[in-house]
């Protein structure tokens, strides 16, 4: 259920609606928009009587939300959400490029790559300290030491940092160092983790599970918003299909689909989406052309020696080229880069 306030409603009138909702033992989610404020109601087991709100001062209308997702939907908020990650806007006019190595391997490696991607024009640095690996014998990341290195990268380059959080136990430690916490594909439906991150006041980058539908992706995002965290960025990273010419099948149709039904920004990760260095540039162009709010790109200065995902990492010179092409392409669809 959504209580839509009149454009001229006062903050006192909004507060009164919020209190009425809470008085019924339900949760109220005020969603301010450019034209008007809507207040989402969650926590109800059955239907709510609209008459409880219809006659309150400042209320324009009360509408039932028919979609399974409530707070992430455009019914709840018409304008695009712009998420600020350490001061960098994601979801605005400017295409945001998040770049860095799959894993933080050493201070020297991280600083070298961060400096290269910063010079090329990336707006955010990403590197994994805690890595979800298919095999328990593969490199699992530097853990706490990796987080310390990420903080140093931010200090030295000025780039805000994004890094993955694997479990509820490490949320506080990761949040201390990261400007944005990534939930990886394998954790998209780790509901305990989502609920915990929903209580955090830090942006979350939520990657699509490798066999998740868009409805499932949006419902996972709904977990975050329903706990009070509205700073959510989605990421299409490919799904598993029968094809074997790429690591995953990058589903670019997800972008306009998500944008039609949700106000949340969406990035595309052509690195994991293809698993192949040579495919990253063409699919980055396609992602921007399809309307993505940004890209997530893996870069390594010595990919043959990388401890994870070397075959899909761009060399820094290739990333320079990618940024140049994104800068030229963005204005064609009315954006900047």
- DSSP E strands in the chain: the ranges are 2-5, 27-32, 37-42, 59-63, 83-85, 88-90, 96-100, 124-126, 161-164, 180-183, 204-207, 232-236, 266-268, 294-298
Query: Is residue 237 part of the contact set for ligand PEP (CB under 6 A)?
Result: yes
Residue 236 or 309 with smaller CB distance to Mn ion: 309
Residues paired with residue 88 on neighbouring β-strands, in sequence order: 85
Among 309, 313, 314, 323, indicate the residue that binds Mn ion (CB under 5 A). Answer: 309
279 binds, among Mn ion, ligand PEP, none (CB under 5 to 8 A by kind): none
Of 327, 329, 322, residue with least CA distance to 337: 327
Query: Is residue 272 part of the contact set for ligand PEP (CB under 6 A)?
Result: yes
> Per CB under 5 A, which of residues 82..111 are in contact with Mn ion?
102
Q: Quickly list DSSP for 217-261.
A: HHHHHHHHHHTT---EEEEE--B--S--SSSSB--TTHHHHHHHH
Among 97, 185, 204, 268, indicate the residue that binds ligand PEP (CB under 6 A). Answer: 185
Shortest distance, position 309 Cβ to Mn ion, whole Å: 4
> Per CB under 6 A, which of residues 48..107 are in contact with ligand PEP?
102
Residue 222 or 309 with smaller CB distance to Mn ion: 309
Shortest distance, position 309 Cβ to ligand PEP, whole Å: 6
- First-residue to last-residue Cα distance in the chain: 38
* Cα–Cα dist 40/33, whole Å: 13
Shortest distance, position 15 Cβ to Mn ion, whole Å: 45
Residue 82 or 212 with smaller CB distance to ligand PEP: 212
Residue 186 or 285 with smaller CB distance to ligand PEP: 186
218 binds, among Mn ion, ligand PEP, none (CB under 5 to 8 A by kind): none
207 binds, among Mn ion, ligand PEP, none (CB under 5 to 8 A by kind): ligand PEP
Tokens of 238: 């490919």
Question: Other C-beta atoms within 10 Å of 329: how many?
Answer: 18
Residue 30 or 132 with smaller CB distance to Mn ion: 132
Q: Which stretch binds ligand PEP (CB under 6 A): 147-155, 183-191, 223-231, 312-320?
A: 183-191
Q: What share of the chain is helix, strand, coil (3-state, %, to 5)?
A: 40, 20, 40
Tokens of 284: 């980055």
Query: Is residue 263 part of the contact set for ligand PEP (CB under 6 A)?
Result: no
Q: Which stretch binds ligand PEP (CB under 6 A): 58-66, 93-101, 179-187, 194-202?
A: 179-187
Structure letter (DSSP) for residue 8: T
| Cβ atoms of residues 141 and 131 within 8 Å | yes
User: Alpha carbon 121 to chain centroid distance?
Assistant: 20
Site of interaction with Mn ion (CB under 5 A): 102, 309
Site of interaction with ligand PEP (CB under 6 A): 102, 128, 132, 184-186, 207, 237, 272
């Amino acid at each position: 259920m959504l209580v839509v306030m009149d454009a001229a409603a006062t903050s006192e009138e909004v507060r009164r609606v919020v209190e009425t909702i809470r008085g019924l033992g339900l949760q109220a989610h005020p969603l301010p928009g450019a034209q008007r404020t809507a207040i989402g109601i969650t926590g109800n087991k059955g239907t709510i009587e609209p008459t409880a709100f219809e006659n309150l001062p400042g209320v324009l209308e009360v509408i039932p939300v028919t979609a399974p997702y409530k707070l992430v939907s455009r019914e709840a908020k018409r304008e695009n959400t712009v998420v600020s990650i350490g001061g960098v806007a994601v979801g605005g006019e400017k295409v945001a490029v998040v770049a860095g190595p799959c894993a933080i391997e050493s201070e020297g490696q991280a600083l070298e790559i961060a400096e290269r991607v910063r010079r090329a024009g990336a707006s955010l640095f990403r590197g994994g300290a805690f890595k979800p690996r298919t095999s328990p014998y593969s490199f699992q990341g530097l853990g706490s030491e990796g987080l310390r290195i990420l903080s140093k990268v931010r200090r030295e380059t000025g780039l805000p940092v994004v890094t993955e959080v694997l479990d509820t136990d490490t949320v506080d430690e990761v949040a201390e160092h990261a400007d944005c916490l990534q939930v990886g594909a394998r954790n998209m439906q780790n509901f305990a983790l989502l609920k915990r991150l929903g209580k955090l006041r830090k942006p979350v980058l939520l990657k699509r599970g490798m066999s998740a539908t868009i409805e499932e992706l949006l419902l996972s995002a709904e977990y975050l918003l329903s706990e009070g965290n509205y700073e959510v960025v989605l990421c299409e990273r490919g799904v598993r299909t029968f094809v074997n010419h790429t690591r995953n099948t990058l589903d670019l149709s997800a972008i306009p689909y998500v944008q039609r039904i949700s106000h949340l920004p969406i990035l595309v990760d052509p690195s994991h989406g293809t698993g192949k260095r040579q495919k990253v540039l063409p699919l980055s162009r396609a992602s921007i052309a399809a309307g993505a709010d940004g890209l997530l790109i893996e870069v390594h200065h010595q990919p043959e020696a990388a401890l994870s995902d070397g075959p899909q990492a761009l060399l820094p010179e290739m990333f320079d080229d990618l940024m140049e092409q994104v800068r030229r392409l963005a204005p064609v669809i009315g954006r900047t880069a």
